[in-house]
Structure 1
Amino acid sequence: MSLVTSQVRADDDIASYSLDVTAKLASDIRNRGTSDSLNNPGARVSFTLAHESGFVALAELTTVSDKQYLNSDKYNLLLAGGYRFGDPEAWHYGLGLAAEFFPGGKYKAPSRFDFQNFVPTDVKSTNYDGQFAVLELGYGALEGRIATVISKTYRGANTSGVCGTMMLYMNDPTDALKCYARGDHDSRGSMLYDLDYKYELSSAAALKLHAGYQQLKNFSEANFYDYGVGVVYRLGGFDWGLDWVSPKTRVRELFIAQDGDHERPTDENSWVFSVSRHF
């Protein structure tokens, strides 16, 4: 890994910055264990700027499927900034804010159901953009992260999206009608939990373990766990990775995307192969 470092002098102090750029290709783009690329290959480019004071900024571009993020330009932009402190070999902490964008991405669906006439009503448009507050806590190679959704929705999850999807794909609409009967809600306040551990097998190889939980506010149907185990090996200047990802969803219909005449589940267990390069 090469590091680009610049120095700025202010009040006789020298402030050091490091910029890390990573390009990655993967057989599937997974987010919280589920596919964002409709089980197809994708790419990600990340830019991380770190200051010796502990300030960190991140910009990340990732390809996604417009069958899942409707009308989108087929990419996701993540921007984040925060502050990290503590001992990397012992207890360390982080606080930050993040925002993700799906340019052009939006959908229209009914937000209410007229039980008297038995028809969905009040169609509204929703985008997939979101903002988060993030807390990190770690000890050595063990890293924990908690993110809370401060935007109105998490990736477009509201009554229109959740109840409408259940109505569309479920053979029995009973649960979808119960969902609509709860009223029109958004998903602000949702919680995302992640726990990661990396064990160095050698100077060139490492074992990765992951566990996560998504707790969606007002829509327990969309809560799920995800697990992963993988290895990464550095060879020829590249990091070669192989991961087994295993999401455990409650209502599979919420993780189905329409691809022409086919319905594609995005929550299946899968091996994911990746190769990345640091610049």
Structure 2
Amino acid sequence: MKTLYTLGLALVLTPLPGLVQAQASAEPEIASYSIDTTLKISTDRKTRGVSDTHGEPGLELTVEAAHESGLIAQLQLGSVSRVNYPEGNNLNAMLALGWRGGNPEGWHYGLGAAREWFPGARVDEAPAGFDASFTPTGWVNTRFHTSYLVAELGWSYLTARYLYVVSRDFRGANTATVCGNYLLVKLPSGDLGPALDCYGSAMQHSRGTQLLDLDLSYPLNGQTKLVAHLGWQRVRNFRGLDTMDYRLGLEHQRWGLVWGAELAGASVRNRDLFIAIDTDGTMRQMEKPKLILTVAKKF
């Protein structure tokens, strides 16, 4: 916690016999803010139970700032895989701004907005659909940047957070990308019917997607706390991407570091839509449960 002192100069007149004495007194006005920085390494970096790093280790830097007025800001930089986000530079950046009020040990609440960027990541000229002769009916260029409106309500160690997607797509989810990846997954088996049905009769986007997160951080003692999470994802126009994700683990402070172990994954409506295919054609499930180990340093 850093404290800024603004000094005001007051002139105090004290009558003395034959003399008026001027005395200056300083009364500080206190405005407080905090800045917390955390660097974390993990054996897998998952978002809502789905790996962003193709099941590989990930790195994350988070800077959080809070002012006594309730204004808050968070900047997060994290690693992602080019398998999941093609043509990118393996980076995901998120900036959130908002306001939080209430009592941290009792009821607390907040409102804000957030924006995610995936620099360089894109899918260019993907088919928007196919006609009866399997000829593309159009071509679509897609980026993965996403904007959210956020509201939260919490009590003590438990926080609920609701997010509403206001950008055209939720992390690039549209007919061209979702159904295109589905088609690639189905090609080896030759069962293309479900993938072609995915395209439907018109190009669809995922603006209006809704997300709900419940997070618990409960101290067991001065060095150890229980962390738990349940989340629900409802992707507009793409029911196959709907999920319920979970996370359960422990965090322990020792030697100036925070050590963590957690089980994280997701229950999904259509597992084929959560398969990532690398350049060698190898397929890997991104939502399957996994034990994730983490180590973090707070500054």
Q: Does 1:112 align with 2:129?
A: yes
Question: What amino acid maps onto 1:113 in structure 2?
Answer: F
Instruction: Report the 3-state secondary structure (helix = DSSP H, G, I; strand = E; otherwise coil) of the residue aligned with 1:23.
Output: strand
Question: What amino acid maps onto 1:277 in structure 2?
Answer: K
Question: What amino acid maps onto 2:118 in structure 1?
Answer: F
Whether the 8 Å contact between 2:3 and 2:30 is mirrored in structure 1 is no
Question: What amino acid maps onto 2:4 in structure 1?
Answer: Q
Q: Does 1:103 align with 2:119?
A: yes
Q: Gaps spanning 5+ residues in structure 1: where?
A: none
Which residues in structure 2 correspond to 1:185-196 (within 5 Å)?
Answer: 185-196=204-215
* CA–CA separation in structure 1 for the residues paired with 2:175 and 2:204: 6
The aligned length equals 275
Question: What amino acid maps onto 1:210 in structure 2?
Answer: H
Question: What amino acid maps onto 2:260 in structure 1?
Answer: G
Aligned to 1:266: 286
Larger Rg: 2
Q: Does 1:238 align with 2:235?
A: no
* CA–CA separation in structure 2 for the residues paired with 1:31 and 1:86: 28
When structure 1 is superposed on structure 2, of 132-141 and 259-268 the one drifting more is: 259-268
* CA–CA separation in structure 1 for the residues paired with 2:201 and 2:98: 37
When structure 1 is superposed on structure 2, of 28-37 and 14-23 the one drifting more is: 14-23
* CA–CA separation in structure 2 for the residues paired with 1:142 and 1:62: 25
Whether the 8 Å contact between 1:72 and 1:103 is mirrored in structure 2 is yes
Aligned to 1:141: 157
1:229-277: CA deviation from partner (whole Å, max 9, x where unpaired): 1000000110000000121112222212222321122111100000001
Aligned to 2:37: 21
Aligned to 2:223: 204
* CA–CA separation in structure 2 for the residues paired with 1:166 and 1:237: 45
Whether the 8 Å contact between 1:99 and 1:132 is mirrored in structure 2 is yes
* CA–CA separation in structure 2 for the residues paired with 1:179 and 1:6: 56
1:66-95: CA deviation from partner (whole Å, max 9, x where unpaired): 111001010100000000001111111010
Offset of 1:128 from its aligned partner?
A: 0.4
* CA–CA separation in structure 2 for the residues paired with 1:79 and 1:143: 20
Q: Specify whether residues 37 and 8 from structure 1 end up closer, same or farther in structure 2 by C-alpha distance, changes over 3 A only.
A: farther
Question: Of 106, 110, 129, which residue of structure 2 is paired with 1:94?
Answer: 110
Aligned to 1:278: 298
For the aligned residue pairs, the C-alpha RMSD in angstroms reads 1.5
Offset of 1:179 from its aligned partner?
A: 1.8
1:79-136: CA deviation from partner (whole Å, max 9, x where unpaired): 0000000111111101000000000000131112213x23333121100001000000
Aligned to 1:165: 181
Whether the 8 Å contact between 1:196 and 1:210 is mirrored in structure 2 is yes
Instruction: Report the 3-state secondary structure (helix = DSSP H, G, I; strand = E; otherwise coil) of the residue aligned with 1:169.
Output: helix
Instruction: Report the 3-state secondary structure (helix = DSSP H, G, I; strand = E; otherwise coil) of the residue aligned with 1:71.
Output: coil
When structure 1 is superposed on structure 2, of 44-53 and 176-185 the one drifting more is: 176-185
Instruction: Report the 3-state secondary structure (helix = DSSP H, G, I; strand = E; otherwise coil) of the residue aligned with 1:196.
Output: strand
State TM-score, norm by structure 2: 0.88
